[in-house]
Amino acid sequence: MDWQSSADTTPASPVTEADARMLLGRPPATGAWRDGDPVGDRRFAALGTFVTENSAELPGARLAYESWGELSPARDNAVLILHALTGDSHVRGEAGPGHPNAGWWSDIVGPGAAIDTDRLFVVAPNMLGGCQGSTGPATIAADGYEWATRFPYLTVRDQVRAQAHLADLLGIERWAAVIGGSMGGMHALEWAVGLPDRVERAAIIAAPPLTTADQIALNSVQLEAIAVDPRFQHGQYYDSADGDGPHRGLALARRMALLNYRSPTELNQRFQRSWQSGVSPLGRGGRFAVVSYLDFHGNRFTRRFDANSYVTLVEAMNSHDVGRDRGGVEEALSRVTARTLVLGIDSDRLFPVDGQHRIARSIPHTIGGDEATVITSDFGHDGFLIETPVVAAHLRELLEA
């Protein structure tokens, strides 16, 4: 979402003058956060040499993270929040140096909020392979060059093991709750299945039990859009002679993804057939408002993300199958001991609610019984970022149980 998650989270606001000014000029070759940039509220945890499921080594790995609240003396009040595909650690807080956007869940996390930082210690890492402070393809390797396409293939399970290492470094043996939406929901589910003794409560929000063939197919065309951009240069674009990167390919991938993050109802109601200029839609020239919307958010995305990181994270998302080597989905889910909220969105066309129902039916301690909790929203997949009052109410129920 474009507010540090996976698509625009403002319900229906037009492009502002400030937004337009931000897009003036050519984007950098990569929108990744780099060492030497303003740190902002980030902290860094050194993981040492990280070994992937495929036995690839990542020396000197680190996770960037942010935290709020205080860890109790008993270390029993820690909550882990896991972000979506293109998100980062800036869950709450103002925009400013190091953080181009305000926090993506500021209405849900904070003093007195559903995830109450007056009584909880909240940790939000940027996932391994990301581009906002954690080790990823845009990170400089030991030889002085970016990892680029040399960066190892990661799975969701690799990323969760990195998060578990972070927990160890923070002295947290068991999370009071692990909460994630979209790809972060995949991570939360993997925590609950793979590390059940370390999770007291879990919230799986708008996430599936596995990435389906349909979803992998949709992802494949996004990756191809990046690969065919001549400026991608097989991933070696960081030191291009003109300082230009694969902006068109990355923006196109983002536009494709955005169509899955929003619902037909929302797009039709919001834009209808409105035209961006005075030129008649019966002739060439000008464009439909919905096309302008997609173009704006695609271009904006290139200024805060890295193309190689996008490829790495989408491939990791494709790896998601909670039942792999565990006897299948249902057998794996039966291992969950955490009290669990499984939350779906009725208009979600990226991860439809049948996936959430399948999860809820197989987990022993699900709020709501054998069916997922489904919220009604016109916003599609992005509803978990936009419908914050109803999401907050369900999270309060989980955390206060």
Decide if 60 is inside a domain. Answer: yes
Instruction: State the CB neighbour count (10 A cutoff) for residue 233.
Output: 14
Burial class (CB in 10 A: 0-12, 13-18, 19+), 230: exposed
pLDDT value at residue 5: 37
Q: What span, in angstroms and rounded, lies between the C-alpha atoms of 222 and 307?
A: 11
Place of tokens 């925590």: 191
Among residues 89, 182, 319, 347, the one annotated as catalytic is: 182
In the predicted model, residues of the chain with pLDDT beneath 50 are 1-22
CATH (domain of 215): 3.40.50.1820
Among residues 247, 297, 320, 381, the one annotated as catalytic is: 381
Decide if 7 is inside a domain. Answer: no
Burial class (CB in 10 A: 0-12, 13-18, 19+), 76: middle
Domains in the chain, number: 1
Hey, what amino acid is at 222?
Q
283 CB-side CA count, 13 A:
5
As given in the structure block, the two tokens for residue 91 are: 């869950």
Indicate if 6 belongs to the active site: no
Decide if 12 is inside a domain. Answer: no
Indicate if 55 belongs to the active site: no
Among residues 348, 362, 378, 382, the one annotated as catalytic is: 348
Decide if 10 is inside a domain. Answer: no
Q: What span, in angstroms and rounded, lies between the C-alpha atoms of 147 and 26?
A: 24
Report residue 110: phi and psi, to 5°: 155, 180
Q: Tens digit of pLDDT for each residue in 272-302?
A: 888 876 556 566 667 888 988 899 989 999 9
Picking from 21, 19, 20, 1, the residue whose alpha carbon sits closest to that of residue 11 is 1
Decide if 345 is inside a domain. Answer: yes
pLDDT value at residue 283: 61
Decide if 4 is inside a domain. Answer: no
Decide if 387 is inside a domain. Answer: yes
Residues with Cβ within 8 Å of 319's Cβ and at least 6 positions away in sequence, in order, are: 154, 155, 156, 157, 211
pLDDT value at residue 285: 65
Decide if 36 is inside a domain. Answer: yes
pLDDT value at residue 280: 60
Indicate if 13 belongs to the active site: no
Query: The domain containing residue 385 runs over which residues?
Result: 17-400
226, 307 Cβ separation under 8 angstroms: yes
